[in-house]
Amino acid sequence: MMTPTARRWLGALSAIYLLITTNTLQAQECDEGDDPSPVVTLATSEGDITLCLFHRKAPITVENFLKYVESGHYEGSIFHRVINGFMIQAGGFDERYEPLPSDSPIVNEAKKSKLHNVRGTIAMARTDDPDSATDQFFINHRNNLRLDWAPGKAGYAVFGKVKDKLSMSTVDFIATAPIKNRGGAFTDSPTKPVVINKVTWVNKP
């Protein structure tokens, strides 16, 4: 049987491992080398969120997201699901809470990429079907490693992260928005719509 001291040490070592893994992952993915990560800014009604996208680790998912960016699909969409201490979700509905038309679903890259759902990462939302993601995405408000791929578990595909502290402060602010239950898919919907007004591909080739 493990002693309390041993359990504390194990917990501390696990936290250190997660911190090292997360920092290494983020440092590797958001550099400005010969093949820089695509950078996209969401100009929301509550402030800007700048994202860098992991196009080398999740090429299908990033291409899909950028396709919606370029078409203007996300402009006028809302964060329709906001759960403080979990995530904020957007991309699929307009201000009237009507669904936006989406393209065909994409393959889930969570198993291939092995990217972690840590605080500040952006991932694809989907149904129970692992390969059902289309236009909806969410930004993790905390470390949500239970959403990762694991043997026997499809996971949710991470494809980027919030690029800077100012952007993360916008995510934090949105996460604390007062919410109401509008019924159906909108059980955790902000009382005042949080709108994505404009989306800019900052470093488009």
79 has a pLDDT exceeding 80: yes
202 has a pLDDT exceeding 90: yes
Dig out the tokens for 37 from the structure: 């990560």
pLDDT at 27: 44
Residue 20's pLDDT band (cuts 50, 70, 90) = very low
78, 192 Cβ separation under 8 angstroms: no
pTM as predicted: 0.86
Residue 179's pLDDT band (cuts 50, 70, 90) = very high
Q: Count how many domains the chain has.
A: 1
37, 55 Cβ separation under 8 angstroms: yes
Q: How far is CA 26 from its chain centroid?
A: 14
Question: What is the maximum span of the chain, computed from C-alpha positions, in angstroms?
Answer: 58
Residue 16: its H or E element: helix 4-29
Strand partners, 201: 40
Q: 10 Å Cβ neighbour count for 111? A: 16
pLDDT at 30: 73
Question: What 3-state class would DSSP assign to 112?
Answer: helix
21 has a pLDDT exceeding 60: no
Please give the share of the chain, as a percent, with pLDDT higher than 90: 80
Per residue in 26-72, pLDDT tens?
A: 445 676 666 789 999 999 999 999 999 999 999 999 999 999 999 99
Whole domain around residue 148: which residue ranges?
4-201
Output the average pLDDT for the chain: 89
Round to whole Å and give the CA distance between 10 and 1. Answer: 13
- 163: CATH: 2.40.100.10
8 has a pLDDT exceeding 80: no
Question: What 3-state class would DSSP assign to 145?
Answer: helix
Round to whole Å and give the CA distance between 177 and 90. Answer: 14
